[in-house]
Amino acid sequence: MLDTLCLYVQFDIILYHNFSYLPKTSYLAETARANKLNVYYYIRHLLTELPNSLDENGNIEQSQLEPLMPWSKELPVDCYSKCRN
């Protein structure tokens, strides 16, 4: 059973490691909605791309996070597909 969840967000790279903090991840969904993104595809994109951005020490450079931000013009087309947000 999963007991940890790690989401990396630009705002000083906030790390959520414990499911007790899961409600705070709604900020990520709300920011995606505010930028007219499909929340499911956006979060799926983040969870796919973030592990590829880690260096050998588990850190991410801020420049690597910019293309992943919900306001980035570099997001895949499916992040903009219509759905029930």
Q: What is the pLDDT of residues 52-61, one digit of tens each?
A: 888 888 888 8
Q: What is the pLDDT of residue 24?
A: 63
Q: What is the pLDDT of residue 59?
A: 86
Q: Do residues 81 and 45 make contact, with C-beta atoms less than 8 angstroms apart? A: no
Domain spans, the chain: 8-80
Percent above pLDDT 90 for the chain:
38
Buried (b) or exposed (e) across 24-51, using 16+ Cβ within 10 A?
ebeebbebbeeeebbbbbbbebbeeebe
pLDDT value at 78 more than 90: yes
Q: What is the pLDDT of residue 84?
A: 57
pTM higher than 0.75? no
